[in-house]
Structure 1
Amino acid sequence: MAPGDEQHPSKVSDLIMLTTAGGRERTESEYTALLGAAGFVVDRTLVAPVGGYCAIEATLKAG
């Protein structure tokens, strides 16, 4: 989800998930912290050219 008050399609998705399923979208930094706590390192974030979606590639920390 894009940070700040700017308009972004993911923010509508966030509201829908919050009101219907109790879930929410997360920012890239929130995912990085969540994955770090689980023992992963974020390698890169890929943003789709349309639709406001992205994928995060992460690997398990060694040792």
Structure 2
Amino acid sequence: LREECGVSGWSLLQLPGDAVLVPAGAPHQVQSLTGTISVEQRFLSPESAVRLRDLGSDAAGT
């Protein structure tokens, strides 16, 4: 992705008790190295609502 689109990725090791917050609209990928129970909570702040709407409009071409 870096060469094609100028996008750099991040890699991290999440340990028990750690939380990872992914910004709205940010693509992400997860790989579990061991048996895992995952809990996901989608959260939309009022400040992000307009940005999310605009991202959806851009993706739909409207």
Question: TM-score scaled to structure 1, two decimals?
Answer: 0.25
Higher normalized strand content (fraction of residues): 1
Work out which of the two has the higher radius of gyration on C-alpha atoms and give 1 or 2.
2
